[in-house]
Structure 1
């Protein structure tokens, strides 16, 4: 080949390369973990555990939220944001829960990554508090019946969008996990049914157990922070009003999230001038291993035992 022909060919290759789309790390379907399997990104660790039970070893599940974190405020690093744009599917709670992560979910979706807002498929409820009334409650996982729906929704999304290693195993896993959560719901129903009707009144550090109350016939008297998010703060008037309610309703306990300081709940207990027990619950995040809420099922069993024990006293 002549020198002129070689130069012309090189110029042609350079021009062709420039006309091609730039190769980006943010490429949907990339092998993020290096295992050779498809990757599903999940925002919260509760949905992460549920998704792992469904997927098994047919795909990799990467969870963004660490144990004992607050879903309202946890964020992601630039590296994690890049990973989200490489996933084959992003599973997120939605309904406004992951307030610091939703923009990254939206960005990944614009890059062509399929996303699943689980909360949109579970017949969401509105908050019933005077302050938050009318806003959508994102804490649907406290109702295992809605988790049964979530299992099916996640299973279908994975089957549609993710190249899993073994589709039959995916559906078998989902069926087995539905049975496990169904048993959990039956057990919880029996435990709460044993609590006298007049003792089924609860106060929490913020409005997080509306779905559980709706499913198992409890009454949410109020919350220290009269909001559906931990990013809010109570006023002196809020605390005074709730103190009156606690005295009049004879509430035996205040349930405070283990990831949140109990100071406000303790102040309220003192303000109400009644004996009120402060009971820690795992309301919005799984725990580290050995702390009582390593999985969704373990979290719900721990919470149910602590709640029914406190309410029955």
Structure 2
């Protein structure tokens, strides 16, 4: 949560204590700013770029957390049900939060599910069972679609200045388009045989589709970081790495890279292990404090790693 949001929430909490009213609520007074609760910090960055200072935004997921398993406090769960809008990723990403999202909807909170606004891909590989892949943010073009839908949803609320929303959304769409062009140019410099990805778990399906990569495999089967690989899984992936000549295995900054290191040893070839920022933003100064910075950092790391 940003310092601006934290200060605003503290102020509303004081008002609530004195008046007996909720600090966050869909029925808040007209002179109070709308309250938005966002599950992941990546989506929070998108929301804040669109709404600007027109709303108080509370982010549930802390920097460097795992979106599959992070938890919220009882107070944060209550705020979800009282917010004017809850924004979530959807497509099964927030596994540890789904019960709270369901309760918030039952309490009457309006819910914007970003994953419902894009054309989802199925996870690659038989181990995923055809489940939808929630990691759409690895494709900036799909993030443009999310911005479009979010602007439309917020614009339906008369408490928002539609012109200001449109201006902010247009500026952010331009930044996302520029990011997409930069990534296209950077990856185009890689020969086709080098566009082969091995990661901790399946997270780059959308990136692979947009920029013509092959996903050789993932160390953790399926789409969740909560699963565990078997010895047979590691052996099969090691064989695929040797066959494809993959020079680098990518681990996630929100997860220990021990499994990637084990796989690099198991493969019987010299394979580097490079950490990427994949599922969470970081604290300021740690390399991925916002979505655009995260994607540019990953593009550079991937291009360098696959050029070896």
> TM above 0.5, one fold?
yes
Is residue 254 of structure 2 the alignment partner of residue 259 of structure 1? Answer: yes
Is residue 169 of structure 2 the alignment partner of residue 169 of structure 1? Answer: no
Aligned counterpart, 2:197: 202
Is residue 128 of structure 2 the alignment partner of residue 129 of structure 1? Answer: no
**Per-residue Cα deviation, 1:235-290 (whole angstroms, up to 9, x for no partner):** 00000111111111101111000111111110110011101110100110001101
Kindly state the Cα deviation for residue 27 of structure 1 after the two structures are TM-superposed: 4.2
**Per-residue Cα deviation, 1:24-75 (whole angstroms, up to 9, x for no partner):** 74742437xxx93111111000000000000001111111101000000011
SS at match of 2:130: coil
Please show how residues 118-267 of structure 1 align to structure 2 within 5 Å: 118-161=114-157, 163-164=159-160, 166-267=161-262
SS at match of 2:200: strand
SS at match of 1:61: strand
**Per-residue Cα deviation, 1:160-207 (whole angstroms, up to 9, x for no partner):** 24722x332111000100000000000000000100111110100000
SS at match of 1:131: helix
RMSD over aligned Cα, in angstroms? 1.5
SS at match of 1:85: helix
Aligned counterpart, 1:37: 33
Distance 1:83 1:133 in 2: 35
Distance 2:223 2:207 in 1: 14
Aligned counterpart, 1:5: none
SS at match of 2:218: strand
Structure 2 vs 1, CA of residues 146 and 286 (structure 1 numbering), >3 Å: closer, same or farther? same
Aligned counterpart, 2:87: 91
Kindly state the Cα deviation for residue 106 of structure 1 after the two structures are TM-superposed: 1.4
SS at match of 1:127: coil
Structure 2 vs 1, CA of residues 162 and 234 (structure 1 numbering), >3 Å: closer, same or farther? farther
Distance 1:182 1:161 in 2: 27
Instruction: Flag structure 1 segments of 5+ consecutive residues without an equivalent.
Output: 1-22
- Larger Cα-atom Rg: 1
Aligned partners of 1:89 and 1:161 also within 8 Å: no
Is residue 61 of structure 2 the alignment partner of residue 65 of structure 1? Answer: yes
Kindly state the Cα deviation for residue 133 of structure 1 after the two structures are TM-superposed: 4.0
**Per-residue Cα deviation, 1:129-165 (whole angstroms, up to 9, x for no partner):** 120141110000000010000001111111224722x
Aligned partners of 2:201 and 2:219 also within 8 Å: yes
Distance 2:106 2:249 in 1: 43
Is residue 291 of structure 2 the alignment partner of residue 296 of structure 1? Answer: yes
Aligned counterpart, 1:28: 26
**Per-residue Cα deviation, 1:206-240 (whole angstroms, up to 9, x for no partner):** 00000000000000000111210100000000001
Structure 2 vs 1, CA of residues 109 and 24 (structure 1 numbering), >3 Å: closer, same or farther? farther
Structure 2 vs 1, CA of residues 29 and 275 (structure 1 numbering), >3 Å: closer, same or farther? farther
Aligned residues: 287
Aligned counterpart, 1:282: 277
Distance 2:27 2:41 in 1: 22
Distance 1:299 1:111 in 2: 35
Aligned partners of 1:38 and 1:162 also within 8 Å: no
